[in-house]
Amino acid sequence: MKKLFLFLLVSVLSFALIACNSGDSSSNPGGKQKLTVWSFTDELQEPIDVFMERHDVEIELTIIPIADYPTRLRPVLESGSGAPDIFTGELAFIKDWVEQGYWENLSQAPYNVEELKGDFVDYVFDLGRGSDGNIKALSWQTTPGGIFYRRSIANEVLGTDDPQVIGEKFSTMDGLFAVGEELKAKGYRLFPDEGAVRWFAQGNNPQAWVNENNELVMSEGRINHFDYAKQLREMDLTAFAPEWSPAWFAAMDGPINYNAGWDAVDTNASNEVEVFAYALPTWGLHSVLKMNTDVTSGDWAVTNGPNPYFWGGTWLGIYSGSKNKDLAWEFVKMMTHDEEFLTNWALESGDVLSYLPVTEKIKGDFSEPFLGGQNNYTFFLNQAESINPGLVTRYDQQIDNFFGNMVSEYVDGVKTKEEAIQEFYNLVRNAYPQIKTPDQK
């Protein structure tokens, strides 16, 4: 018995060794060219399959969770060993990376992407540009945001589910709150959580967090955001389901439990509450709403908030040290401006593209069953036009974190508005000593 076990063990081990070995040596079967791609989502898998069919090459996609992505990627890019031929960048760090030499300069020959400038949604194209004026990365998608709401609730409370009419009501913060009050009276909640208004803090005069002199900009809109968030809490317009929490997802598909015994609200109110709207960008429809709804599918529509905003997005560039730049460029080309592929891709996935020749073609009669047949394509493209890429800085993700945190401390009553703002400045200075905060002037 023991011998048999040992025999098995040894054979398994040797098999594993052989398998590993052959895996290494046969990585290039039949002399096929091989590309490696690194990304933080699996969205590229389908295009890669299409590309492999078309070109008879092998592409290996490595997916690294977004939280580890920059930390994992940076050393291989810096050292050059084991680096991918193509890697993607997310909005949160694209500004950092276009300044580095890791991405091939696409503005020069043989790529000459400047010729395509007019074919892309402006802000998407410009975010791939470094301060030296050269394009380093392209993106096939555009990610403006809107407010997704439930048609049935709109009909019941507001008497209409027309996105146009509701968009008008939502076009100011006060209008948003007024609708919120109406909803509350009928036992609904405007948003799942208070974070949902953060996109509308900018107001109609949006400014970048950090200006060209490395100074933190505290605009009036941002200061007002403290009051709006507090108002939202005091008026009890949300369901207290924090973003990405199980309750947050659950509220998309039906009523959720609400505040048993929470004494700040009407005690006669039911313990269950339904959420009316979510502030989400283009990808929120496919990767968030559709994934988490069953009953409410088809009962949604999308409209604008008080101001346009955008959230996320994936950029694609070629590693400057890659040995397969030609092939890599073929892939980037297909992904970002191949009409045939992009048309199929957009119709299949519903991804809102940044490549205008294709969007012009399909936006006319686009209809999304999930949104009750609404043409969300045209809506999002219109929103995308009002986005200013100059507002994005490399610091945004962290600064937004600090800001959101201080807003909630103010809303919770832990700090006064002045204390919260002061603490916000301290946090920014602690993280980025090179930034001058308004209190230093």
**By the criterion CB under 8 A, which residues form the site for another protein?**
70-71, 74, 78, 96, 100, 239-242, 245-247, 256-264, 398, 401, 405, 408-409, 412, 414, 430-433
- Of 22 and 401, which CB lies nearer to another protein in the complex structure? 401
- Of 259 and 297, which CB lies nearer to another protein in the complex structure? 259
Residue 253 contacts residue 152 (beta carbons within 8 Å): no
- Of 11 and 271, which CB lies nearer to another protein in the complex structure? 271
Residue 352 contacts residue 273 (beta carbons within 8 Å): no
53 burial via Cβ count (<10 Å: 0-12, 13-18, 19+): exposed
Rounded to a whole number of angstroms, the minimum distance from the CB of residue 17 to another protein is: 20
Rounded to a whole number of angstroms, the minimum distance from the CB of residue 197 to another protein is: 18
Rounded to a whole number of angstroms, the minimum distance from the CB of residue 365 to another protein is: 42
Q: Which amino acid is it at 388?
A: N
Here the tokens at position 185 are 């009276």
- Of 69 and 148, which CB lies nearer to another protein in the complex structure? 69
- Of 220 and 419, which CB lies nearer to another protein in the complex structure? 419
Write down the H helix ranges in 272-370: 282-283, 325-337, 339-349, 356-363
**Can you state the angle between helices 173-185 and 220-234, rounded to 10 degrees?**
10
3-state secondary structure of 34: strand
Rounded to a whole number of angstroms, the minimum distance from the CB of residue 154 to another protein is: 24
Rounded to a whole number of angstroms, the minimum distance from the CB of residue 405 to another protein is: 5
Rounded to a whole number of angstroms, the minimum distance from the CB of residue 142 to another protein is: 27
C-alpha 149, offset from chain centre? 19
Residue 193 DSSP code: S
Task: Count CA within 13 A, CB hemisphere, residue 353.
Answer: 29
| Total number of residues shown for the chain | 441
Partnered with residue 141 across adjacent β-strands are: 353
Residue 133 contacts residue 309 (beta carbons within 8 Å): no
Rounded to a whole number of angstroms, the minimum distance from the CB of residue 276 to another protein is: 17
- Of 113 and 399, which CB lies nearer to another protein in the complex structure? 399
- Of 97 and 120, which CB lies nearer to another protein in the complex structure? 97
